[in-house]
Amino acid sequence: MSNHNPSRENFGSKIGALLAAAGSAVGLGNIWRFPILTGQNGGAAFILIYVGCVLLMGIPIMMSEFLIGRHTRANAAGAYRTLAPGTRWNWVGRLAVLSGFVILSYYSVVAGWTAEYTAMALGNCFDGKTTTDFPAMFANFVSNPWRNLFWTISFMLITHVIVVRGVKSGIEKFSKVMMPALFIILVVLAACAITLPGSSKGIEFLLKPDFSKITGSVVLSAMGQAFFSLSLGLGCLCTYASYFRDDTNIGKTALNVSLIDSFVAIMSGFIIFPAVFNAGYAISSNDIGPSLLFITMPNVLEQSFGNIPILAYGVSVLFYFLLVVAALTSTISLHEVVTAYVSEEFRMSRRKAATFVTIACSLVGIVCALSFGPLDGIKIFGMSIFDLFDYVSSNIFLPVGGMLVSIFTGWYLDKKLVHDELTNRGTLRAPYLRLVIFILRYFAPIAIATILLNQLGLFRFF
Ligand code: PFF
């Protein structure tokens, strides 16, 4: 079925492959970005559009990335070169690697904050603090270049150590231990949040749609979030699938990864919103901005559980540790996209390639981290460097990458190849095949183009 290269590593088991791919998908996108966007964009109505994007675009595009990766058994750029030699499709792979590089650089900054806050939670630093203390605490931290840089680079180094160990003993082993731990923490925290006295308002916010909030930019955000959260459009899942075994069921894996990812996002909503409402915050205010996890949440945890100090301590440590684990399984996958590319395309050892990637991403990460301190005066299109990276990569690079993947699979690839990969050469049933091809050919490219053109103001459809 696939171009086998015997010296290339594979995941050792199907569950290991599933947990690694789910680890890539589940990350700060679920626990940080999703609740912020939900809070800013009308709660349940936003969630409905988001779920629509996952079902109608996310899952078919994920299947495309999986089949391209497994068939070629190459890094993202090598995969397109193998399938479409000498054509401009090669640029899709290169764009994917570039997006991976950009996202890893700014993602590590927020990942570093989660590590700092875990250390603070462990040191019981939130105990006895009041609502006015937390903004100052966060402002002090992010504007302190050394502390910010220390954590950004530390996070990059931990990612580096795991990636260097390889696919089976690094990525797979780590995901197999950490993903189940993440699910357990998530359920414990949701149980704590739902039992808070004011939680019903938060639950209502998550379940009752207000469609008056839906605008073009809300739809774009929901689509961008679906791509970001599912790790689509930048060759991450394509690279992971290049390590899938021949008997991995691509359709089932894509469905399971998407279900796990959406479950974690919605559970995070059920942890954060009941607690936020319980503490009396107004959802539309700045409290639900990027500082949600670092100003609002420590305060919310302290107010909600502070009368039982040991509970407040335990919940805070678990909450920030959850964030570290989620972020780490994602930074590993982003690092792997670029490392596999550098190692295979420039024929370098994995260790050398990973070192090169770690240094290059750390340098860009430093610039992003400093955009909260010494470089905060620099604005491009009215955004800080950090915000610009986040906006451009998730609202433009990833949807454009996803659109190109879907056109590539729907129109360019041989139907037999697609059929063979999705059915493992006729040994599995794939009754969804025609629907998936229809989505990839028509629905996904047209929907993504419409939403993007509308938002960029080139055409006004809605
Ligand atoms: N999906 C990750 C998250 O939700 O945090 C972020 C991410 C990882 C995006 C890997 C893209 C990617 F390729």
What local confidence, expressed as pLDDT, does residue 199 receive? Answer: 84
In the chain, the percentage of residues whose pLDDT exceeds 70 is: 95
pLDDT grade, residue 32 (50/70/90)?
A: confident
The reported pTM is 0.92
For ligand 1, whether the C-beta of 43 sits within 6 Å is no
> Looking at the predicted structure, is the pLDDT value of residue 462 above 70?
no
User: What would the mean pLDDT of 202-210 be, rounded to a whole number?
Assistant: 87
Q: How many CA atoms lie within 13 A of 85 on its CB side?
A: 2
pLDDT, the chain, mean = 90
Please give the biggest Cα pair distance in the chain: 66
Question: Which of 228, 222, 242 has its CA nearest to residue 99?
Answer: 228
Q: What is the per-residue pLDDT across 98-154, written as a single tens digit (0 to 9) for each? A: 999 999 999 999 999 999 999 999 999 999 888 788 889 998 888 888 998 999 999
- Whether 21 is in the pocket of ligand 1, judged by its Cβ within 6 Å, is no
pLDDT band at 13 (very low <50, low <70, confident <90, very high): very high
pLDDT score, position 240? 97
| Of residues 322, 276, 330, the one with CA closest to residue 303 | 276
Task: Kindly state if the Cβ of 231 falls inside 6 Å of ligand 1.
Answer: yes
Q: Please tell me the distance between residue 67's alpha carbon and the centre of ligand 1 in angstroms.
A: 19
pLDDT for the residue numbered 5: 60
Whether 333 is in the pocket of ligand 1, judged by its Cβ within 6 Å, is yes
pLDDT of 25 reads 97
> Would the CB of 224 count as within 6 Å of ligand 1?
no
Binding site membership of 58 for ligand 1 (Cβ less than 6 Å): no
Q: What pLDDT sits at residue 375?
A: 81
- Quick one: tokens of 52? 């629509």
Q: E strands of 187-336, at which residues?
A: none
Q: What percent of the chain has pLDDT over 90?
A: 62
- Would you say the CB of residue 316 lies under 6 angstroms from ligand 1? no
237 has pLDDT over 90:
yes
CA of 401 to the centre of ligand 1 (A): 14
Whole-number Å distance, alpha carbon 128 to ligand 1 midpoint, is: 35
- Give the model's confidence band at 460: pLDDT under 50 very low, under 70 low, under 90 confident, else very high: low
Domain assignments of the chain as residue spans, ordered by start: 14-456
Contact 421, 433 (CB under 8 A): no
Residue holding tokens 């937390």?
Answer: 134
Check: CATH 1.10.760.10 for 14-456?
A: no
Residue 281 above 80 pLDDT? no
Ligand 1 centre distance from Cα of residue 41 (Å): 21
